[in-house]
């Protein structure tokens, strides 16, 4: 049985990011992985609270262990202030995450195999590289939005956005012939309505994009059937979506609710079952949207004007939403309002645009057009069939997830015996070598490639782990008859003893043991004696390369089936 990979999952601390990464974690568990799901303390507390009396799911027996680390803010800090929260996360969480991984190894014996980090938390991959484990990114939104972020330098060059990421004009543009045209309204990081927060998010995107070059993949919550053009535009995107939560009868409440910040209201399911099939408008604006009084009034009355049943998810936990009141004209007789819905269970319907306000009359017109257009309904059903096929066994997203799992499991574990610079050398020399390695690794970012004396057939996983390695090996010296002695010996420090060739030709094919310890190894007398007598005990022919300064044959050594080649200094 192979080693069970332990994957550390690090989502961005927002509901729309935590939820898909939890679903991904559950899929990884189904494939035989253990999960360490790491969030800031305030997110961890929300997740545990939403499970009610079912506990946190991290009692030591669950394959998904919920772990919290501080975000660096004080207990009374406003964590709805995105700029302050992320500023603190970037300053404090990297060191805390590294300490957590070390504590897991030393105290719990848990060895993390890989970090899967939300794109916004891409700094975690630097920690993965530092401690020698694998790391991949995860992008919870559409591949088209990722392609948009990849195109930031080109958008600046073309004058569509400025160096701060803000649109310079209202116009349409196209990233690629294979991607549908967009307009500047798609530039999501410029729609925050706070210039300092917009600038911070834009800088996070720029920094995160730099990590794309050094990672094998960016897992993406999409599918080739939905976004073929965007996925081909960014080859490192590995589509494994759509990531949908399952509500199996064999699941407990705790397992079903993992990753939710608020307790789901399942009472809406009975109400939905009483409505005509495909008739309900589903209204949800996500976990961060806040309404002012005017927006709220127009939406409420617009929904009522449709004269259709609607399910409206309206949180009561925010100060702004607590202050809004339903207008007197609002009856709500055809709708059901809940605080948080089991989204995959109720089904995805018509989601209203949260960018800007529309009037109640426009709401009615758009809903009537959507629900009355049989062509749209047919296309939606066909897309749904394709998406569900993608995540079914044998589907493309399912196979991509298997590809990721195999990549995780194929990479071999190492032990400290593999740390060559710390073995068999004195501390001063070992420290010198180590410092040279650290200094040399810093140049990796500055060069296009590192030529490597290896081959993909020999080390596919290690080569994929360091994309800048270009394998050109094995590099073997040729000994052509038309070469002179000088040409054959170029690059050697010691003169070669070619007398062994005739002796080798007299031995049975592939019968000879070749023994060589390199140009730096030195033996003391005891070590040399054990090697010599051990080789003789094999009773096989062997070719032993012994430098003259190391030759101290024991008197018991006969050497009847051996040729010892002395390399002259």
pLDDT, position 380: 83
Identify whether the C-beta of residue 83 lies closer than 8 Å to the C-beta of residue 194. yes
Identify whether the C-beta of residue 64 lies closer than 8 Å to the C-beta of residue 37. yes
* Cα(349)–Cα(98) distance, integer angstroms: 42
Residue 417 — very low, low, confident or very high, per pLDDT cuts 50/70/90? Answer: low
Q: Kindly report the CATH number that applies to the domain delimited by 6-140+215-257+386-410.
A: 3.40.50.2000
Q: Is the pLDDT of residue 541 over 50?
A: yes
Q: Which of 253, 266, 249 is nearest to 345 (CA)?
A: 266
Q: Is the pLDDT of residue 533 over 80?
A: yes
For the chain, give the mean pLDDT: 81
Instruction: State the Cα angle at 165 between 202 and 158, rounded to 5°.
Output: 140
Instruction: Convert the pLDDT of each residue in 474-491 to its tens digit.
Output: 888 776 666 665 566 777
Q: In the 8-state DSSP scheme, what is residue 498?
A: T
pLDDT, position 69: 94
pLDDT, position 56: 47
Instruction: Convert the pLDDT of each residue in 122-161 to its tens digit.
Output: 999 999 988 888 999 999 999 999 999 999 999 999 999 9
Bridge partners of 311, per DSSP, are 282, 336
Instruction: Convert the pLDDT of each residue in 184-237 to its tens digit.
Output: 888 888 877 788 888 999 999 999 999 988 888 899 999 998 999 999 999 999
Task: Give the other-Cβ count within 10 Å of 213's Cβ.
Answer: 10
Report CA Rg, the chain.
31
User: Where in the chain is CATH 3.40.50.2000?
Assistant: 6-140+215-257+386-410, 268-372, 485-567
CATH class of 485-567: alpha beta
Q: Which helix (H) or strand (E) holds 37?
A: strand 34-40
* Cα(112)–Cα(48) distance, integer angstroms: 23
Identify whether the C-beta of residue 239 lies closer than 8 Å to the C-beta of residue 139. no
- Is CATH 3.90.1170.50 correct for 268-372? no
* Cα(376)–Cα(380) distance, integer angstroms: 6
The pTM of this model reads 0.69
Q: What is the mean pLDDT of residues 515-534?
A: 81
Q: Is the pLDDT of residue 21 over 90?
A: yes
* Cα(252)–Cα(121) distance, integer angstroms: 30
Instruction: Convert the pLDDT of each residue in 438-472 to its tens digit.
Output: 888 878 778 888 899 998 888 877 777 787 889 89
> How many helices (DSSP H) and strands (DSSP E) are in the chain?
21, 17
Identify whether the C-beta of residue 50 lies closer than 8 Å to the C-beta of residue 263. yes
> What is the rounded end-to-end Cα distance, in angstroms, of the chain?
50
- Write the Ramachandran bin of 217: left for phi over 0, alpha for psi from -120 to 50, otherwise beta: beta
Identify whether the C-beta of residue 312 lies closer than 8 Å to the C-beta of residue 280. no
* Cα(199)–Cα(132) distance, integer angstroms: 32
Least confident range from 58-72, 280-294, 338-352: namely: 338-352
- State CA 3 to chain mean position distance: 20
Identify whether the C-beta of residue 22 lies closer than 8 Å to the C-beta of residue 258. yes
Least confident range from 108-122, 245-259, 453-467: namely: 245-259
């Amino acid at each position: 049985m192979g080693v069970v990979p332990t994957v550390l999952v690090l989502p961005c601390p927002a509901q729309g990011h935590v939820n898909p990464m939890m679903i991904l974690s559950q899929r990884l568990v189904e494939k035989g992985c253990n999960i360490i799901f790491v969030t800031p303390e305030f997110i961890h507390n929300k997740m545990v609270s939403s499970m009610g009396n079912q506990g946190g799911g991290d009692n030591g027996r669950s394959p998904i262990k919920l772990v919290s680390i501080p975000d660096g803010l004080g207990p009374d800090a406003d964590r709805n202030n995105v700029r302050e929260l992320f500023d603190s996360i970037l300053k404090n969480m990297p060191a805390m995450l590294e300490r957590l991984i070390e504590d897991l190894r030393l105290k719990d014996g848990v060895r993390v195999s890989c970090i899967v980090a939300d794109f916004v938390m891409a700094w975690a991959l630097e920690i993965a590289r530092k401690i020698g484990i694998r790391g991949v990114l995860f992008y919870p939104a559409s591949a088209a939005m990722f392609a948009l972020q990849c195109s930031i330098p080109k958008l600046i060059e073309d004058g569509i956005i400025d160096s701060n990421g803000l649109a310079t004009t209202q116009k349409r543009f196209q990233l690629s012939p294979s991607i549908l045209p967009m307009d500047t309204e798609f530039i999501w990081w410029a729609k925050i309505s706070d210039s300092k927060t917009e600038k911070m998010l834009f800088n996070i995107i720029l920094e995160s994009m730099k990590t794309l070059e050094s990672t094998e993949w960016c897992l993406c919550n999409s599918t080739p059937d939905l976004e073929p053009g965007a996925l081909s535009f960014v080859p490192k995107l590995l589509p494994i979506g759509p990531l949908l939560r399952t509500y199996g009868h064999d699941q407990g409440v705790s397992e079903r609710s993992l990753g939710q910040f608020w307790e789901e209201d399942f009472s809406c399911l009975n109400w939905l079952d009483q409505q005509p099939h495909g008739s309900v408008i589903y209204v949800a604006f996500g976990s961060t949207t806040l309404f002012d009084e005017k927006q709220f009034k127009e939406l409420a009355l617009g929904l009522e004007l449709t004269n259709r049943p609607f399910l409206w998810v309206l949180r009561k936990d925010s100060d702004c939403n607590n202050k809004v009141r339903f207008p007197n004209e609002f009856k709500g007789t055809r709708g059901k309002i809940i605080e948080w819905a089991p989204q995959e269970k109720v089904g995805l319907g018509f989601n209203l645009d949260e960018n800007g306000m529309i009037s109640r009359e426009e709401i009615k017109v758009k809903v009537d057009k959507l629900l009355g257009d049989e062509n749209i309904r047919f296309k939606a059903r066909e897309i749904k069939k394709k998406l569900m096929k993608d995540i079914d066994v044998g589907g493309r997203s399912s196979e991509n997830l298997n590809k990721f799992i195999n990549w995780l499991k194929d990479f071999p574990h190492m032990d400290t015996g593999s740390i060559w610079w710390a073995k068999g050398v004195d501390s001063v020399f070992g420290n010198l070598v180590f410092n040279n390695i650290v200094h040399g690794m810093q140049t990796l970012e500055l060069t296009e490639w590192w030529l490597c004396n290896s081959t993909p057939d020999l080390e596919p996983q290690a080569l994929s782990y360091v994309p800048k390695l270009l394998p050109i090996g094995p590099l073997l010296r040729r000994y052509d008859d038309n070469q002179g002695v000088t040409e054959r010996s170029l690059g050697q420090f010691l003169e070669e003893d070619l007398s062994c060739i005739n002796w080798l030709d007299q031995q049975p094919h592939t019968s000879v043991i070749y023994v060589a310890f390199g140009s730096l190894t030195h033996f003391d007398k005891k070590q040399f004696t054990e090697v010599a007598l051990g080789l003789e005990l094999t009773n096989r022919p062997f070719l032993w390369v012994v430098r003259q300064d190391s030759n101290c044959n024991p008197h018991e050594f006969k050497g009847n089936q051996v040729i010892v080649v002395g390399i002259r200094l």
